[in-house]
């Protein structure tokens, strides 16, 4: 009895299914579309492309150098008696760094002053002798030869005084040189001479090295073919030079093109360029490797699309899927240009204001027009240039 009730209840469902199959067989296209609905339509995420002003940059590797670097070398010989600085400290211009034992220099100065006094006494005596000789010669009491000899002795005595004074000045300078002062403001590098060491003008190693690090130079080597565009961009003020330290979390610095070499390396075809940048908080130190991002031109009306929007054919040609206002999509050959961050400049094949598929475009077959359901992108594409 239960089985008979089940068969009776199932009979209307079987009849409805048979009628639907017969109906679909008579109208396959229209009825199939109504049956599956809009869920089978191609869903595309699209973006409308508008012209943008884009600055073009190129990255180069470089090395940091101090803005000024001074080696402290003695101009006299002697033992280092005092040292007033430590490694890594900052000193101001004129600050005392070392003192060399002044005792021998003071003794030399006393001897030079004594020699000057002797020379001045000889000059005074020669002057009196020459005056007497002139008077006697006027009375014909002595010969012209003796008068000339007296005058010549006076000239030699005067020259001796000048020489003695020069020696005194030199000895005073030597005494001043016993105190070594900082010629610039900067930071003391490692490798300071110790107290008791012998200072010698001919030594290969300096007593200290001072480096001005408030500013730094970045020395680059770039292809000679890139130099003209970079110099033109720098002269036109296209954009700043960015110094990008090769360590995580470091803040980029802003610099400017300082100079470029006029000689191209014949072996490599590269030319040297120097960038100057402020160095707050000593973010960069001499010897570090960094990247410099230099402007090299401007595209005033660039058309950019996300990199993932570009399709590649089997032969490597670039294509975009263009969506019309009626919701029809088709592939189009384009010519990509510069890569700007995660976007690509389209040099040809794309017009301002056109709508481009940026996701789902691979489902649009090549060589045909496809009806699609476009959906605007939720987040606009980024444009990281710096």
The phi and psi torsions of 368 (rounded to 5 degrees) equal: -145, 160
Residue 207 has pLDDT above 50, yes or no: yes
Note down the domain range covering 85: 74-95+182-205
The phi and psi torsions of 51 (rounded to 5 degrees) equal: -65, 145
CA 44/CA 50 separation, integer angstroms = 19
Same domain, 262 and 367: no
Residue 315 forms part of a structural domain: yes
Residue 349 forms part of a structural domain: yes
Q: Average model confidence (pLDDT) for the chain?
A: 86
Q: Looking at beta carbons, which pairs linking 362-368 to residues 24 or more positions away fall under 8 Å?
A: 362/311, 363/42, 363/44, 364/42, 364/44, 364/321, 364/329, 364/330, 364/331, 366/313, 366/319, 366/331, 367/331, 368/330
Please report, for residues 53, 303, 347, the alpha-carbon distance to residue 353 in angstroms, rounded to integers and kept in the order given.
15, 10, 15
Residue 36 forms part of a structural domain: no
Residue closest to 82 by CA, chosen among 248, 209, 249, 194:
194
Contacts of 122 (CB under 8 A, 6+ apart): 157, 160, 161
Residue closest to 260 by CA, chosen among 57, 60, 31:
60
Lowest mean pLDDT among 15-24, 111-120, 321-330, 345-354: 15-24
Residue closest to 252 by CA, chosen among 260, 243, 239:
243
Strand-pairing partners, residue 69, are 211
Residue 26 forms part of a structural domain: no
Higher pLDDT, 384 or 123: 123
> What are the start-end ranges of the E strands in 110-261?
179-181, 186-188, 198-199, 208-223, 241-245, 253-260
Residue 375 has pLDDT above 90, yes or no: no
Model confidence band, residue 11 (pLDDT cutoffs 50, 70, 90): very low
pLDDT, tens digit (0-9, with 9 covering 90-100), for 243-253: 988 766 678 89
Residue 241 forms part of a structural domain: yes
pLDDT on residue 354:
94
Same domain, 248 and 356: no
Model confidence band, residue 378 (pLDDT cutoffs 50, 70, 90): low
Model confidence band, residue 122 (pLDDT cutoffs 50, 70, 90): very high
pLDDT, tens digit (0-9, with 9 covering 90-100), for 325-345: 898 999 999 999 999 889 999
What is the CATH number for 331? 2.40.420.20
Handedness of CA 179, 183, 184, 187 (dihedral sign): negative
Same domain, 201 and 89: yes
Same domain, 62 and 82: no
Same domain, 316 and 266: no
Model confidence band, residue 235 (pLDDT cutoffs 50, 70, 90): confident
pLDDT on residue 383:
47
Our count of domains for the chain comes to 4
pLDDT, tens digit (0-9, with 9 covering 90-100), for 302-318: 999 999 999 999 899 99
Last residue of a domain, one of 243, 266, 299: 299
pTM exceeds 0.85, yes or no: no
Residue closest to 80 by CA, chosen among 59, 66, 101, 97:
101
Same domain, 216 and 286: yes
Residue closest to 345 by CA, chosen among 315, 380, 320:
320
pLDDT, tens digit (0-9, with 9 covering 90-100), for 35-72: 434 445 688 999 999 999 999 999 999 999 999 999 99
Last residue of a domain, one of 205, 220, 250: 205
Residue closest to 195 by CA, chosen among 105, 91, 103, 99:
99
Same domain, 193 and 159: no
Contacts of 360 (CB under 8 A, 6+ apart): 42, 43, 44, 45
Token pair 């960094």 is at which residue?
Answer: 290
Same domain, 187 and 252: no
Say if CB 97 and CB 178 are below 8 A apart: no
Same domain, 188 and 262: no
Model confidence band, residue 385 (pLDDT cutoffs 50, 70, 90): low
């Amino acid at each position: 009895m239960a089985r008979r009730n089940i068969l009776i209840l199932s009979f209307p469902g079987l009849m409805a299914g048979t009628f639907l199959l017969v109906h679909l067989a008579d109208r396959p296209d229209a009825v199939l579309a109504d049956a599956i609905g809009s869920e089978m339509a191609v869903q595309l995420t699209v973006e409308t492309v508008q012209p943008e002003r884009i600055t073009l940059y190129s990255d180069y590797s470089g090395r940091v150098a101090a803005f000024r670097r001074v080696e402290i070398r003695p101009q006299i010989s002697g033992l280092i008696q005092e040292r007033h600085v430590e490694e890594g400290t900052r000193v101001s211009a004129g600050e005392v760094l070392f003192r060399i034992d002044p005792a021998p220099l003071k003794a030399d100065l006393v001897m030079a002053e004594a020699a000057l006094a002797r020379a001045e006494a000889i000059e005074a005596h020669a002057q009196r002798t020459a005056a007497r000789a002139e008077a006697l010669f006027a009375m014909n009491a002595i010969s012209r030869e003796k008068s000339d000899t007296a005058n010549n002795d006076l000239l030699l005595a005067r020259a001796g005084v000048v020489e003695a004074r020069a020696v005194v000045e030199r000895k005073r300078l030597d005494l001043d040189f016993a105190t070594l002062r900082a010629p610039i403001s900067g930071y003391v590098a490692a490798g300071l001479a110790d107290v008791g060491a012998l200072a010698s003008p001919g030594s290969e190693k300096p007593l200290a090295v001072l480096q001005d690090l408030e500013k730094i130079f970045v020395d680059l080597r770039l292809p000679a073919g890139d130099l003209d565009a970079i110099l033109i961009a720098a002269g036109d003020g296209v954009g700043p030079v960015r110094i990008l330290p090769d360590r995580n979390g470091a803040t980029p610095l802003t610099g400017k093109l300082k100079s470029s070499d006029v000689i191209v390396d014949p072996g490599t075809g590269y030319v040297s360029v120097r960038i100057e940048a402020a160095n707050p908080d000593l973010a960069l130190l001499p010897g570090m490797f960094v990247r410099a991002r230099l402007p090299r031109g401007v595209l005033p009306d660039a058309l950019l699309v996300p990199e993932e929007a570009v399709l590649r054919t089997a032969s490597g040609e670039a294509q975009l899927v263009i969506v019309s206002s009626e919701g029809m999509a088709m592939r189009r050959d384009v010519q990509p240009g510069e890569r700007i961050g995660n976007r690509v400049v389209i040099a040809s094949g794309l017009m301002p204001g056109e709508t481009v598929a940026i996701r789902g475009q691979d489902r649009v077959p090549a060589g045909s027009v496809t009806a699609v359901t476009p959906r605007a992108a939720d987040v606009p594409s980024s444009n990281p240039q710096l």
